[in-house]
Amino acid sequence: MTPVIALVGRPNVGKSTLFNQMTRSRDALVADFPGLTRDRKYGEGNYQGQRFIVIDTGGLTGDEVGLDAEMARQSMQAVEEADIVLFLVDGRAGLTAADEMIAEHLRRSGKQAHLVVNKTDGQDPNVAAADFFKLGFESTFLIAAAHNRGVRSLLETLLPQPETPEEEDRAERYPGIRIGVVGRPNVGKSTLVNRLLGEERVVVYDMPGTTRDSIYIPYERQGQEYTLIDTAGVRRRKNVREVVEKFSIIKTLQAIQDAHVVILVIDAREGLVDQDLHLIGFVLDAGRSLVIAVNKWDGMAPEDRARVKEQVQRRLDFIDYADKHYISALHGSGVGLLYESVEACYASAMAKWPTNRLTAILQDAVSQHQPPMVHGRRIKLRYAHQGGSNPPVIVVHGNQTESLPGAYKRYLENTFRKVLNVTGSPIRFEFKSSENPFAGKVDRLTPRQRVKKDSNLKKGRPERKARQKSVKR
């Protein structure tokens, strides 16, 4: 289970700064005045292979009215959702009545809470934290979030140890090809799952939010084992208010990680919206194969169908390698073709290619279109080999690869995709440059060269470069 960490405290104590440090992002707004953060903000972090979720909250003062009262309610809600609560205080301002009020509330909540003394830079950390020991927290951490000081030790102490591989990857308990069905609420995900299974396996109702948990369903079809994952719908963050729905979204994102192939269901009656593009971004970031299923295609007028097709073609041009199907999950039209696309995506994601073939493709691509020159020298790409699967990872070795422009990387990706016939799956490239064997080595002078150099310096003669002789070390 992914741990959830909530950050609470008075305004302007550094909660958003710590949020950005833990997630290694700039997602939270940071400014030197109180009350900037109003809503709960969720972010995902990763420390040494351990994933966790961080919740940034608005500041608490104890005398909130109006908008501040709503912000306080949001912060208290985050405390209820979290597994670990970090209570941030200002080491420069010292202990205040608001801090004591928040500490009392955390004790009553029964949550695992830890005291974090921030802004300890420029002063003795123990002196800065002296006033806060009277709050009675068992564990106290001294950090400076603005300088990322003490954050690593904080995460090492709080995060659980990685589980054994058998327990870590729960998805391995499910055989065959794992197919995740994702989309917005009420687009027909559960109906599609029932249609793929051929039975009423999951509850279907004409109301958004019927499915709350991710349902793993193993089955067999024509001798091939599959596992269908029915997920909860993911709405825009501003529309998510219920605690259960937040956890449902977390489970959906975990299901995307577990799946081999993801089927994104789009409502043809509403068209392609921005939230669908956000979900595609989640899938691509996870490196999973993608199949687009435009549902509720039955009963639409020809002009509406043409409009939706044009919209899908135009807005999804960046994933032109993904198969697109126009289906009706309720009546079953076009659903059977999804299996063909799923199997092709799985074969592409799990394919193994020999090094000599990848190197030959690389050399052909370079001969047709050479890399650009950097500082008067041509970038050299020497050979390629496979570095992983699901998604396929191709490692390219050469010189000055860190200077390779993005356009040329996309050219290589398209070339490899076309030659290797990769369908539906993204291809990730890793570029590695050869190390300079002479980097960091200092030329050594022979005794005669050293005497001559000193003599020239004394007489004011210009120094001339002498031939260096190799000296055994």
Q: Is 227 assigned to a binding site?
A: no
Domain tally for the chain? 4
Q: Rounded CA gap, 324 and 338, in Å? A: 9
Q: Is 244 assigned to a binding site?
A: no
Q: Is 14 assigned to a binding site?
A: yes
Q: Is 469 assigned to a binding site?
A: no
Same-domain status, 337 and 365: no
Residues 92 and 123: beta-carbon distance below 8 Å? yes
| 294 lies in some domain | yes
pLDDT digits (tens, 9 = 90+) for 268-318: 888 888 888 888 888 888 889 999 999 888 888 889 899 999 999 999 888
Q: Which of 230, 219, 294 is nearest to 259 (CA)?
A: 230
Spell 62-97 as b/e; 16+ CB within 10 A means b: eebeeebeebbebbebbbebbbbbbbbbbbeeebee
CATH number at residue 120: 3.40.50.300
What is the pTM assigned to this prediction? Answer: 0.56
Same-domain status, 149 and 187: no
| 163 lies in some domain | no
Same-domain status, 426 and 457: no
Q: Rounded CA gap, 178 and 262, in Å? A: 8
Residue with tokens 């422009």, as numbered in its chain: 405
Residues 254 and 214: beta-carbon distance below 8 Å? yes
pLDDT digits (tens, 9 = 90+) for 343-381: 999 999 999 999 999 999 999 999 999 998 888 888 899
| 403 lies in some domain | yes
Q: Is 198 assigned to a binding site?
A: no
Q: Which domain holds residue 119?
A: 4-158
The DSSP code for 163 is P
Of 94, 125, 158, the position where a domain reaches its end is 158
Same-domain status, 235 and 293: yes
Same-domain status, 282 and 182: yes
Helices (runs of H) and strands (runs of E) counted in the chain: 14, 17
Of 328, 349, 370, the position where a domain reaches its end is 349
Q: Rounded CA gap, 181 and 261, in Å? A: 9
Between 208 and 229, where is the model more confident?
229
pLDDT digits (tens, 9 = 90+) for 133-160: 888 888 889 999 888 888 888 888 888 7
Q: Is 13 assigned to a binding site?
A: yes
**Given this model, what pLDDT does residue 208 score?**
54
Q: Which of 221, 207, 213 is nearest to 250 (CA)?
A: 213
Q: Is 251 assigned to a binding site?
A: no
User: What dihedral angle (degrees, nearest 10) is formed by the CA atoms of 324, 328, 330, 334?
Assistant: -80
SS3 at position 204: coil
Same-domain status, 280 and 239: yes
Same-domain status, 35 and 105: yes
| 167 lies in some domain | no
**Given this model, what pLDDT does residue 358 score?**
93
Same-domain status, 135 and 277: no
Same-domain status, 87 and 188: no
| pLDDT at 454 exceeding the cut of 60 | yes
